[in-house]
Structure 1
């Protein structure tokens, strides 16, 4: 009866790696090995393999899905010199030198897309996500899009994290994203709305590259079938759709985690530190520039470096066993020190330039989140222990459950049918593959355990390990397939074995396609139910009119004013539009403040205005701006080297300089890190009124400082009596005397009708099924609208 087999990774005499990723059923053409000694077993296996290799001499120009003379673009060298392999098989243990490692013929090799094909497919999906996905977290807007808008255009909203008093956000991270955004603006003459979507597409391209790199690493280092499963999971999951284009440190850390894990999948070595350095580099870059806690995913790698001893296939002298751990430890510490210098020092320099003080932002983040005490992250909301389980099931459905079960599945497979495990453990020269697979599965478990234990939970915290969820899940499906095959092998005849194995392999694809269908339903629901804010603000960019508009898109009024001289004052001719300062137009929001997608969606000259809602926490303020009629403050003259002469120090006078953006170093007095409400951040009719009278005034009269208003009105709900009207959050859009609707989109009402059903609001379901599921109820929609005050 054919049995499942795994194949070794071979190294040629020149040190290059020739990989045979073998899992699944062995070829029926492989001859039966009946030699009794270990040496004869290894020699016979190698001879049979060499015969198969000679039969499949692939041309570099064939058109059967092979790339560059490599079947499916997988192998660097196919025809290996097996003499070194014979020696290793003779010296290995029984568990390695068994006939189950007989290598399958290349005619059964599964097709795996090349890196280029995988990248193109992933980029297509990520570009669609950049265009149509929602912004799932208001922190993405106020902590990252708004500061970048301030650097680019001189205006933006500021959160307490950017106050120099706290400094737990890095301007270096903002600059890394602002540079490609500015290049795109200049190269394509793009307005700010276009810049927003261009940057999202750039982030999607980076994500696609990292995902394709991870996919190829799994194909080449683990198993081609697992690689194919992983590619489909990455392409189709709702979680990666949400996370890949986000402007968040956790998304940046997700990129670096994929590149790090691609290195971790490779074989540990004694004579080369390349793998160690790049693994440490990607972990360090994600932790220092992105999110410090993402470095936790690197702990299993450090353990692996110190626990797994691998024999290098090279002519160099093998390191003595008692010395290899010390050598690995020194290499880890050296790599960490180098990465710390390469990454952290530039971050400190950039942050010092903008904050005007010495700060170590990664350290500040750790101190606040770990040792913050009563003013730590818990004051912004906590979630129950099952929050991430529910979130994982929403975004990955059955794949998340499979990821959680990956370690139990490994134990079952190892103790029942260890011969079906993928082949990388053979090349490590170790008896026990359990440790190798445990270390590869553990980064997800480490991250999940750490953040489940934290009271403060948010969906974006799990972004870092979204690709690892997919990896753990597909490995579970792979092992489950092998277990099913082996179970059926015991109860069916030999003639039906190949058919059962074929159907068992197809079962994995059925599960993956079903998971993709559920994820697609989730993606469609997010767009159909909750995409109205993005669509309305897109129209706002065109519908909001700015009087006395003089600046060109992307220009900086402080630069223009600095070029003027006192001897040439601005013209006072009333007929000249250039002499009149641009009027600030306020687009106001109340209860919908947290769905504001950033000032990139407002035309130049328009600003967001906040009006009071039931939210009683700290809302963002505005960055300090240099007015258009102000010049930069003069710099004191200093004595020159020449006696009796003075000179003025050089000033960095570029548009993003700290002098042009004084808000980066200005300490706002109203900010606090205790989530206490600040009344000065609201738009009011009369600042002399008490807060209670301001609320009453807001509920009865139009807002004089608001020319436009964006609000959500649930018109499908029952009309309340006038005596029960909400004075804090009135239904502004019903005030037709003062406001006229310019553009509206529907938004799902989750309090009435079918929207109260969690399945209906979380997934797209056909209307007839919705009616049956909710016993005759249908979806009720609210109106998400841009309105204009009639007096303008």
Structure 2
């Protein structure tokens, strides 16, 4: 039901993979399976995203200083590193034809390169606050409350449980604070960077809820309510959170699906209705211009096809498919750069396209026209326009969202040279 987990768990990226391994690592840690917790941190950071090693610091502190098992920690770390890094290096080196240690390359580019990730845009410090409220709604402030109240946990919990409960709580909180502190320091911010701690944010929110629940008896006495009203207030508090979070999460999920699923629905519909097969048996060129960043996946393209790019007002570096030659992963293509500069070889001429994916823009230009005015529309899916900011764009509310938001259509267009074939 949570929007953050709905989005992050379905994404096919290394940040999602790291989220899984961090979740496994912390689950093992809480279950006292310490060797496995060390392994999953190593596995997630080396095979997924190297920076999640930071989330292993609280586990390391707990094992080395609190439990005094530093020899075991060193042994588990070495074994986990070797088990993960050796096959990773062998596989990468085989496919690239030279020695490649991917985690080191990642660190070298992002931390020691003169360019770094800021080439791909920067965001204000408020980015993660707004993003957190959109993805977690009421859970996000509850997680903040959990972080703030954790140092005072001995006030709310029986001191007999402090050693077994309070220290892990503090360490969960410290991992979130460290991670978010690192992210806030970086000018380049993305939603996916927070993925690894999504489960920990929810856990911290539950800590906040528990601490507020323990405060309720004191609040009841303070405002001089009847003693038997404590249970009622507690239930009202918990049920209200569940209901509010559920409604807002469903509303947000509907807004995402309704407004932004057009690219996936367009290609899925085109495949299931065999639209592409009606054209010919030849290899198809499916082109995309200003909507290049909306393209979901090559898995949704028909088998005998390739995605090509039309020139648009975007002046950065677009992706490029591997060569069809043998050992393509070992070939070095000179048409790449680490400065996000435009590479002209990415573009094709319009007459090379069999199909075009394009939406009707409010502000078309000569280099970025609305192709639906030139070619035959095969199928269209409604898509939201982000030009108008509204709470009803972020959260779907029947009737109000439709009236408040502005929509356009994402089209699958048939180039004119194949119109006759399609109509046969």
- Normalising by structure 2, report the TM-score: 0.93
Could you tell me which residue of structure 2 aligns to residue 248 of structure 1? 13
Contact 2:393-2:401 within 8 A present in 1 as well? no
Show the 5 A alignment for 1:415-426: 416-419=155-158, 425=162
Contact 1:381-1:456 within 8 A present in 2 as well? yes
- SS of aligned partner of 1:288: helix
1:728 aligns with 2:367: yes
Q: How far off is 1:509 after superposition?
A: 2.4
2:383 to 724, 728, 747: 747
Could you tell me which residue of structure 1 aligns to residue 348 of structure 2? 683
1:586 aligns with 2:344: no
Could you tell me which residue of structure 2 aligns to residue 258 of structure 1? 23
Show the 5 A alignment for 1:560-575: none
2:321 to 619, 622, 625: 622
Q: Distance in 2 between matches of 1:251 and 1:778?
A: 33
Could you tell me which residue of structure 2 aligns to residue 306 of structure 1? 64
Could you tell me which residue of structure 2 aligns to residue 759 of structure 1? 391
- SS of aligned partner of 1:668: coil
Could you tell me which residue of structure 2 aligns to residue 368 of structure 1? 109
- SS of aligned partner of 2:353: coil
2:312 to 613, 617, 631: 613
Number of corresponding residues = 416
Contact 1:276-1:331 within 8 A present in 2 as well? no
Could you tell me which residue of structure 2 aligns to residue 352 of structure 1? 93
Could you tell me which residue of structure 2 aligns to residue 335 of structure 1? 76
Q: Distance in 2 between matches of 1:546 and 1:622?
A: 26
1:503 to 209, 219, 233: 233
Q: How far off is 1:412 after superposition?
A: 4.1
1:596 to 279, 295, 299: 295
Q: How far off is 1:439 after superposition?
A: 1.4
1:713 to 360, 371, 392: 360
Contact 1:379-1:675 within 8 A present in 2 as well? yes
2:277 to 541, 545, 548: 545
Contact 1:586-1:608 within 8 A present in 2 as well? yes
Could you tell me which residue of structure 2 aligns to residue 386 of structure 1? 126
Residues 332-355 of structure 1: CA distance to partner in whole angstroms, max 9, x if unpaired? Answer: 111000001111000011011100
Could you tell me which residue of structure 2 aligns to residue 569 of structure 1? none
User: For the structure 1 residues 608 and 435, does the alpha-carbon distance in structure 2 shift closer, same or farther, using more than 3 Å as the test?
Assistant: same
Show the 5 A alignment for 1:482-561: 482-489=214-221, 492=224, 496-541=226-271, 542-545=274-277, 549=281
Could you tell me which residue of structure 1 aligns to residue 413 of structure 2? 787
Residues 186-218 of structure 1: CA distance to partner in whole angstroms, max 9, x if unpaired? Answer: xxxxxxxxxxxxxxxxxxxxxxxxxxxxxxxxx
Identify, as 1 or 2, the structure richer in helix: 2
Q: How far off is 1:707 after superposition?
A: 1.2
User: For the structure 1 residues 333 and 741, does the alpha-carbon distance in structure 2 shift closer, same or farther, using more than 3 Å as the test?
Assistant: same
Contact 1:540-1:602 within 8 A present in 2 as well? no
Could you tell me which residue of structure 2 aligns to residue 185 of structure 1? none
- SS of aligned partner of 2:10: coil
Q: How far off is 1:540 after superposition?
A: 3.0
Q: How far off is 1:492 after superposition?
A: 4.5
Contact 2:143-2:204 within 8 A present in 1 as well? yes
Q: How far off is 1:546 after superposition?
A: 7.4
Q: Distance in 2 between matches of 1:242 and 1:455?
A: 23
1:281 to 19, 31, 39: 39
Q: Which runs of 5+ in 2 are unaligned?
A: 419-424
Residues 33-52 of structure 1: CA distance to partner in whole angstroms, max 9, x if unpaired? Answer: xxxxxxxxxxxxxxxxxxxx
- SS of aligned partner of 1:497: coil
Higher CA-based Rg? 1
- SS of aligned partner of 1:591: coil
- Normalising by structure 1, report the TM-score: 0.51
Contact 1:265-1:440 within 8 A present in 2 as well? no
Q: Distance in 2 between matches of 1:359 and 1:294?
A: 20
Q: How far off is 1:515 after superposition?
A: 1.2
Could you tell me which residue of structure 1 aligns to residue 422 of structure 2? none
Q: Distance in 1 between matches of 2:39 and 2:153?
A: 34
- SS of aligned partner of 2:409: strand
User: For the structure 1 residues 417 and 601, does the alpha-carbon distance in structure 2 shift closer, same or farther, using more than 3 Å as the test?
Assistant: closer
